[in-house]
């Protein structure tokens, strides 16, 4: 066979493969590699594949999730171009994976689909197309042993509307709606297929900094640890980080020598020995305190008699004369905790004992690493209300950019961030960072530091009131500047609901500095 004849055979084979491969039409049964089946209801315009709907509902009524925000997903309630967002079916795979990893609940909408075999929670566009094709697929669906779509109820999509709601499609009208995430709606899974079986699917590879290669890992860090994950897919690669703060168990030992029985936190010890008591530190972990106790019987005892020499039959009176030592103090060993007062000399006092003669308050403790009693303190007063930046373009050299709220919440390095901002040549661009007393250790807190501070504000206010500080306003709307950078000259801020949100240009923000101790 010459080359010309060989090429003819090759072309015939290719033509035969093309004709045999492209056999799917709308309404055809599709069989997945695992044997599961569905009905083809959409074909890509370029002829490379399409979408398949499952034969039955994955659930006749389940919740989308709890009423909390999924930080890795966009909320579609504000300012999104719905037409653009719904134009791609790839979001169904991405969002279903995000939901399953974040929620870790098999009874939620993302958990009831067979994701391991390629079935996903659909996008709005995929459901709206499915709604429009019911007349073409209803008979084949029933003939294949399937169940018709419910025409008087809503079906969940994989898209989040807000922290409380998710997008649904009403199959009585085809309209896009939103329902509370805890509502019970139907779930019908979809999947894509390709006409190109000789082209391998893009490999989805996960590599963690721990060496693990699974999507979900369980770790037990012993200290603050940054975990990094690298993901490659179809020639693309990306990376993300998450910081875990570890509140460590703590321990403390002290020795006491006493002349009398010794009382410690309501327990009286009569003999020398080592004794322990367990407390709970600020991180919620055990704090074991050991007492090394020595009891010395050092009292002075003498005996006096009315006569030292007597005759037989006579009596004598003996009397003890005892000199007792001063009673030993009852000792309580307090741990450093949020709300304690940091003094100018570096000492820390409890607000219950304030004022203390000779002491001047410097700040209020916000966070403590009880392994060595170091942490962060907030300033007694605010540095003012001002815009974070006076311009809306340009970059900050050496700044670490955080693209999502989840990344911003993991940032605890306010000192580094503030230095990077203050290092910009035109310092007038950043009034908030310039308002802090950086030379004396104060900095603009990172968004993660503000996030940890928020639930402690009532406790901090009690201490601020004791030492004459400026209280946090717990009854109004406000925003606090962080030093965590988003994009260009934008930043992340703490709002009055405790959320870390993106900087809103043109608004004035509160500035309250923090320092390490």
Domain boundaries, the chain: 20-194, 204-244, 250-323, 341-516
Is the overall model pTM greater than 0.75, yes or no? no
pLDDT at 277: 83
Q: At what angle do helices 134-143 and 124-132 cross, to 10 degrees?
A: 80
Query: What are the backbone dihedrals phi and psi of residue 329, each rounded to the nearest 5 degrees, phi first?
Result: -70, 150
Closest CA to 24 of 192, 202, 198: 192
DSSP code, position 444: P
3-state secondary structure of 438: helix
Contact 190, 198 (CB under 8 A): no
Distance CA 171, CA 163 (A): 24
345-381 burial: b if 16+ Cβ within 10 Å, else e: eeebbebeebeeeebebbbbbbbbbbbeeebbbbbbe
CB-based contact 117:36 (threshold 8 Å): yes
Helix (H, G, I), strand (E, B) or coil at 427: helix
Q: Are 351 and 339 in contact (CB under 8 A)?
A: yes
Query: Which of the 8 DSSP states describes residue 257?
Result: E
| Selection from 431, 415, 425, 405 nearest residue 483 by Cα | 415
pLDDT of residue 266: 75
Look up residue 190 and give its two tokens: 């979809």
Determine contact, residues 189/120, Cβ cutoff 8 Å. yes
Listed residue (95, 99, 149, 152) closest to 127, CA to CA? 149
Q: Check residue 53 and give its pLDDT.
A: 96
Sign of CA dihedral 337, 340, 342, 347: negative
The alpha carbon of residue 28 and the mean position of all alpha carbons in its chain are separated, in whole angstroms, by: 45
Query: For residues 212 and 224, what is the distance between their CA atoms, to the nearest angstrom?
Result: 19
Contact 308, 298 (CB under 8 A): no
Using a 10 angstrom Cβ sphere, with 0-12 exposed, 13-18 middle and 19 or more buried, the burial of residue 508 is middle
How many whole angstroms separate alpha carbon 89 and alpha carbon 156? Answer: 15
Query: In 397-448, where do the E strands start and end?
Result: none
Q: What is the pLDDT of residue 72?
A: 80
> How high is the pLDDT of residue 472?
92
Q: What is the DSSP string of 21-68?
A: H----TT-EEE-TTS-EEEEEEE-TTSSEEEEEESS-SEEEE----SS
- Smallest CA-to-CA distance from 239 within 250, 229, 227 is with 229
CA 221 to chain centre: 16
3-state secondary structure of 5: helix
Got the DSSP string for 115-129?
A: GGGT-BPPPHHHHHH
Question: Helices (H) and strands (E) in the chain — how many of each?
Answer: 11, 29
SS3 294: strand
Q: What pairs with residue 108 in β-bridges?
A: none
pLDDT at 428: 79
> What are residue 378's phi and psi, to 5 degrees?
-95, 150
Give me the tens of pLDDT residue by residue for the chain, a chain 517 residues long. 443 343 333 333 333 333 334 467 889 999 988 889 999 988 775 667 888 999 999 999 999 998 888 888 877 765 433 443 444 556 788 889 889 888 888 899 999 999 888 899 998 888 878 887 887 888 999 999 999 999 888 999 998 888 899 999 888 877 788 899 999 999 999 998 876 544 444 455 777 788 887 777 787 777 667 677 777 655 566 667 676 766 666 676 777 777 677 777 778 887 888 888 887 765 667 777 788 888 776 756 566 767 776 676 777 676 666 565 555 454 444 567 789 999 998 888 999 889 999 999 999 999 887 555 688 999 999 999 998 888 765 678 888 888 887 788 889 899 999 998 888 867 778 899 999 999 999 999 999 899 878 878 888 999 999 999 999 988 888 899 999 988 755 789 988 877 788 876 667 899 999 999 8
* Contact assessment for residue 361 and residue 469, using Cβ atoms and an 8 Å cutoff: yes
């Amino acid at each position: 066979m010459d080359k010309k004849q060989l090429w003819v055979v090759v072309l015939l084979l290719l033509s035969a493969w093309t004709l045999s491969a492209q056999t799917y039409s709308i309404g055809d049964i599709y069989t997945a590699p695992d044997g599961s089946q569905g009905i083809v209801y959409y074909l890509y315009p370029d002829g490379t594949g399409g979408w398949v709907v499952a034969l039955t509902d994955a659930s006749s009524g389940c919740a989308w999730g709890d009423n909390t925000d999924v930080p890795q997903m966009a909320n579609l309630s504000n300012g999104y171009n719905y037409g653009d967002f719904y134009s791609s079916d790839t979001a169904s795979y991405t969002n279903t994976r995000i939901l399953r990893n974040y929620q870790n609940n098999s009874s939620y909408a993302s958990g009831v689909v067979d994701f391991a075999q390629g079935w996903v929670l659909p996008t709005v566009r995929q459901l709206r197309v499915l709604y429009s094709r019911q007349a073409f697929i209803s008979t084949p669906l029933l003939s294949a042993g399937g169940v018709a779509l419910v025409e008087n109820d809503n079906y969940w999509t994989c898209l989040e509307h807000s922290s409380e709601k998710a997008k649904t499609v009403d199959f009585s009208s085809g309209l896009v709606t939103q329902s509370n995430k805890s509502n019970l709606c139907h779930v019908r899974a979809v999947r894509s297929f390709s006409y190109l079986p000789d082209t391998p699917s893009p490999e989805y590879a996960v590599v963690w900094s721990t060496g693990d290669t699974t999507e979900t890992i369980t770790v037990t860090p012993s200290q603050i640890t940054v975990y990094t994950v690298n993901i490659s897919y179809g020639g693309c690669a990306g990376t993300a980080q998450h910081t875990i703060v570890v509140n460590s168990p703590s321990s403390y030992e002290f020795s006491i020598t006493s002349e009398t029985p010794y009382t410690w936190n309501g327990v009286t010890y009569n003999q020398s020995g080592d004794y322990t008591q367990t407390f709970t530190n600020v991180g919620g972990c055990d704090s074991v305190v050991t007492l090394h106790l020595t009891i010395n019987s050092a009292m002075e005892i003498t005996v006096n008699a009315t006569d030292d020499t007597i005759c037989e039959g006579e009596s004598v009176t003996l009397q003890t004369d005892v000199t007792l030592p001063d009673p030993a103090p009852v000792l309580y060993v307090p741990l450093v905790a949020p709300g304690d007062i940091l003094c100018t000399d570096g000492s820390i006092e409890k607000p219950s004992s304030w004022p203390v003669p000779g002491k001047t308050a410097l700040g209020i403790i916000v966070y403590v690493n009880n392994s060595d009693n170091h942490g962060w303190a907030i300033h007694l007063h605010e540095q003012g209300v001002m815009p974070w930046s006076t311009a809306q373009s340009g970059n900050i050299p050496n700044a670490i950019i955080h693209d999502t709220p989840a990344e911003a919440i993991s940032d605890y390095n306010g000192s580094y961030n503030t230095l990077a901002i203050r290092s910009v040549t035109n310092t007038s661009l950043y009034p908030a960072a310039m308002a802090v007393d950086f030379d004396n250790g104060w900095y603009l807190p990172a968004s993660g530091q503000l996030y940890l501070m928020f639930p402690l504000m009532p406790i901090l206010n009690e201490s601020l009131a004791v030492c004459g500080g400026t209280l946090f306003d717990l009854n109004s709307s406000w925003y606090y500047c962080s030093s965590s950078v988003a994009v260009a000259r934008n930043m992340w801020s703490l709002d009055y609901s405790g959320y870390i949100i993106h900087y809103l240009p043109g608004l004035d923000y509160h500035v309250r500095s923090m320092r390490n101790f």
